[in-house]
Structure 1
Amino acid sequence: MKFYRFQSINKLTLQNLTNQNNWVADPFEFNDPFEFSLYDSVLIDENGDFRNLNHIEKANVMKFKDSINEYGVVCYSSDSTNNLLWAHYADNHKGMCLVFDVPKEKEDGIYKVKYQERFPEINLTDDANSHEEIKTIVTTKSIEWKYENEYRQIFIMKNMLYEYPGILVEIIFGCRTPYEDIKMVTNIAVSKNPSIKISKMHMDKTTYSLGKVTIGNNTVIPEFWRINGLRI
């Protein structure tokens, strides 16, 4: 499966590209204040009514929170053309998108995010250190984020570097990525994988959509890619 990772182009992302690593981030620093949310004091019962948590459930909530605090994630999407993803996570279309080809046998640990209106339902009466229960919390977000089509690679540590989940097969640049940045990133990428695809997003002439152009020779960057906000 192909996984898409949107990034800005800066000293850290260039260093990670050189070393073929991803940064395992702390979700509590993400732009969604509801990351890793669960029921704190009330719960919805089987009849759809709210009830107060009992003392065992409250104690287990605290254990969950202590455990979750150690978890880190690497975020991907299954969509490379979403305008909002480019705007929010690729420096307002001036960044890049790394494309990973991850074979089925290596997809363990990468989970599709579930989007819903309420916090995830988990078992608060048993041992709260269950990885499966924590995974449910880590991979559940508000339905408002559904457009991201997100997948998450989960780790029991954070703020660290970890090797790529698969082969980096393509780099896609935004429709506003500076030409010099394209050349700099391409030189690094080709040195790691001579057959890597190099592509650039462009704006459609008649609709509010993005398209993609891929060059045949990844060592020669077309001059027309200097155009900011290219329309095709």
Structure 2
Amino acid sequence: MKLFRFQAINKLTLQNLNNQKNWIADPYEFNDPFEFSLYDKLFIDDYGDSRPLTQIETININKFREEINDYGVVCYSSDYTNKLLWSHYGDQHKGMCLVFEISKEKMEVIYKVNYQQRLPEINITDDSDTFDDIVKIVTTKSTEWKYENEYREVFLSKNMLDDYPGELVEIVFGCRTPFEDIKMLTDIAVSKNKEILISKMVISNSEYNLGNMRIGDNTKIPEVWKENNFKF
């Protein structure tokens, strides 16, 4: 399966591309203030019945909050053509999108985000599976974010680097990515993999859509890519 990772182009992302690494981010620094939120006022059983938390359950909730603070994530999407994703995470279309080919085995530990109206609920008991509860909290967001079609790789730590989840098979540049940035990043990418695909988003002449223009020879970047917001 292919997953897409949007990024701005800066010193950190250049270093990470050169080292073929992903940065494991701290979700508390994301643009969603509800990251890692949970509903913890009542115990809700499998039948939907609820009651106030006991003292032990309150203690377990507090332990859970302490544990989840250490977790980090790497975020991906299953869609690289979404205009809002390019605006929000691709530096207003001036950044790039890394395309990974990920094995079926690896996808078993990359989780699709669930979107819902209510905060997620967990049942904290002495014999609860804390990791499953943590994954539930880490991968639940408001329906307002549904357009992101997000997947998350979950880690026991954060603010550190980790290997790519699969092969980096393509780099897609935004419709406003500066030509010099395209050349610099292409040189780095091709030095790691001569077969990597290089492409650029272009704007439709007739619709509010983005398309993708690929080049066949990585050594010959089209001169037309110097034009911002190139239309097809």
Interval of TM-score (by shorter of Structure 1 and Structure 2): over 0.9
- SS at structure 2 position matched to 1:5: strand
How far did residue 108 of structure 1 move? 3.2
Measured against aligned partners, the alpha-carbon deviations of 1:28-65 in whole angstroms (never above 9, x if no partner) come to 11000100111233456778687543322221211110
1:86 aligned residue:
86
Kept after mapping to 1: 8 A contact 2:40/2:122:
no
2:55 aligned residue:
55
- Counterpart-to-counterpart distance in 2, 1:95 and 1:50: 47
- SS at structure 1 position matched to 2:187: helix
- Counterpart-to-counterpart distance in 1, 2:18 and 2:57: 47
Kept after mapping to 2: 8 A contact 1:72/1:159:
yes
2:107 aligned residue:
107
2:205 aligned residue:
205
Kept after mapping to 1: 8 A contact 2:25/2:74:
yes
1:22 aligned residue:
22
CA RMSD of aligned residues (A): 1.6
- Counterpart-to-counterpart distance in 1, 2:49 and 2:85: 37
| Equivalent residues in 2 for 1:151-170, closer than 5 Å | 151-170=151-170
Q: What letter matches 1:31 in structure 2?
A: N
- SS at structure 2 position matched to 1:88: helix
TM-score, normalized by length of structure 1? 0.95
- Counterpart-to-counterpart distance in 2, 1:58 and 1:37: 16
- Counterpart-to-counterpart distance in 2, 1:219 and 1:46: 59
| Equivalent residues in 2 for 1:135-150, closer than 5 Å | 135-150=135-150
Q: What letter matches 2:71 in structure 1?
A: Y
Aligned residue pairs, count: 232
Measured against aligned partners, the alpha-carbon deviations of 1:43-92 in whole angstroms (never above 9, x if no partner) come to 56778687543322221211110110010000000000000000000100
Q: What letter matches 1:188 in structure 2?
A: I
Measured against aligned partners, the alpha-carbon deviations of 1:3-51 in whole angstroms (never above 9, x if no partner) come to 1000000000000000000000000110001001112334567786875
- Counterpart-to-counterpart distance in 2, 1:42 and 1:85: 36
- SS at structure 2 position matched to 1:13: helix
Q: What letter matches 2:229 in structure 1?
A: G
Q: Relative to structure 2, which stretch is displaced further, 42-51 or 107-116?
A: 42-51
Measured against aligned partners, the alpha-carbon deviations of 1:87-110 in whole angstroms (never above 9, x if no partner) come to 000100000000000111222321
1:4 aligned residue:
4
- SS at structure 1 position matched to 2:132: helix
- SS at structure 2 position matched to 1:4: strand
- SS at structure 2 position matched to 1:111: strand
- Counterpart-to-counterpart distance in 2, 1:57 and 1:145: 31
2:188 aligned residue:
188
How far did residue 133 of structure 1 move? 1.0
Kept after mapping to 1: 8 A contact 2:169/2:196:
yes
Q: What letter matches 1:57 in structure 2?
A: E
Kept after mapping to 1: 8 A contact 2:43/2:53:
yes
2:125 aligned residue:
125
1:69 aligned residue:
69
How many percent of aligned residue pairs carry the same amino acid?
Answer: 65
| Residues 124 and 95 of structure 1: CA distance in aligned 2, closer, same or farther (over 3 Å) | same
1:228 aligned residue:
228
Kept after mapping to 2: 8 A contact 1:203/1:229:
yes
How far did residue 120 of structure 1 move? 1.6
